[in-house]
Amino acid sequence: MSGPRHVPVMLDRVVSLLAPALSEPGSVLVDATLGLGGHSEAVLTRLPQARVIGIDRDPDALAMSRERLAPFGDRFTGVHAVYDEIGDVLADAGLDTEAGVAGVLFDLGVSSMQLDVAERGFAYSVDAPLDMRMDGSTGPTAADVLNTYSAADLARVLKQYGEERMARRIADAVVRERAREPFTNSARLVELLYDVIPAPARRTGGHPAKRTFQALRMEVNDELRVLERAMPAAVAAIGLGGRVVVESYHSLEDRLVKRTFADAVRLDVPDDLPFVPEGAEPSYRLVTRGAEQADEAEIAENPRAASVRLRAIERVRPRGVGGDTSRTSKPSSTSRTSTDRETKGKGAF
């Protein structure tokens, strides 16, 4: 397959975490963020008994991954959808949703293909239309956000999603400049950011446009709200022995994943109870202890790995038995958790 090639982050570790769940013939993995199919290709190659249903909202990425994974025949199925639609995708595929799937994988954030194709507008290094939609057929663009949001709303987006300290200053400058001429291309936005962000601040934290472009991308694609719906759905979708593996690259994403997993493994009994009543055991266990990170060698080879946080969870009790917790409520202050010791990560949560 020609064109951009995504380098999967922590590939060997991801496959090793999924392997125990995909040991039975016909075991189904949902690759919820298919992209160019790097993780799926490794699973299909190394775990010949597994099938993969790949989900992506980006039609271009989906077409490329279908071409890449065509040699695996009917072991791979590509679906154009957003990953919070996991339940619908499984139902449409005719799978037994009560039995559940063997695994769900999320590799969050923007893919190399989206960054490498200039006209998509994700990259600040080249001048391109300010689009940033993962599905270019629907929804507002980054230009729409810049040209229509109030200064207060722009500042909120930049601060929340980009952790940009100069959020209000940038937002005020955008509103002032768009009155003169609407924003259409990335070069003008980058130029504004160089003008607005003081030189001392530009010397740290990477390119001065990095945080703003990240924030706009997350807003345009509604990424956090989609993830907030997708995580409980993924945890609920796995069957006995099934695993959910998540790679996140933003603190808000990782916090949401951590909270969902903590809720699933909590023991909902008082701390002062001397024993856990039969049937109150949680239905899930943490497979990673805390968030695992890439090692220095991988980061040197693939800079995208520098910010990855990897977490995994496994269903250990059948649905509807005892402490089955396919739920979304927040853990109480008296919660306790069930944690596996299998992992190389540091520190619980």
Q: Which residues of 262-300 are buried (b: 16+ CB within 10 A; e: fewer)?
A: bbbbbbbbeeeeeeeeeeebbbbbbbbbbbbbbeeebbe
According to the annotation, is 293 in a ligand binding site?
no
Contact between 147 and 216 (Cβ < 8 Å): no
- DSSP character at residue 150: -
Is residue 56 a known part of a binding site? yes
Annotated ligand binding at 268? The verdict is no
194 is in an annotated binding site: no
Which helix (H) or strand (E) segment holds residue 27: the answer is strand 27-31
> If phi over 0 gives left and psi between -120 and 50 gives alpha, with beta otherwise, what is residue 100?
left
Amino acid 319 reads R
Q: Is 83 marked as a binding-site residue?
A: yes
Q: Decide: helix, strand or coil at residue 94.
A: coil
Largest CA-CA distance found in the chain, in angstroms, rounded: 69
Does 135 count as an annotated binding residue? no
Q: Are 107 and 9 in contact (CB under 8 A)?
A: yes
Q: Of 39, 31, 36, which is closest to residue 12 (Cα–Cα)?
A: 39
Q: Is 80 annotated as ligand-binding?
A: no
Count Cβ atoms within 10 A of the Cβ of residue 203 and give its class: 0-12 exposed, 13-18 middle, 19 or more buried. Answer: exposed
Bridge-based pairing state of the strands 238-248 and 101-107? parallel
Identify the H or E element spanning 236: helix 223-237
Report the binding-site residues.
37-39, 56, 83, 107, 114
Report the binding-site residues for S-adenosyl-L-methionine.
37-39, 56, 83, 107, 114
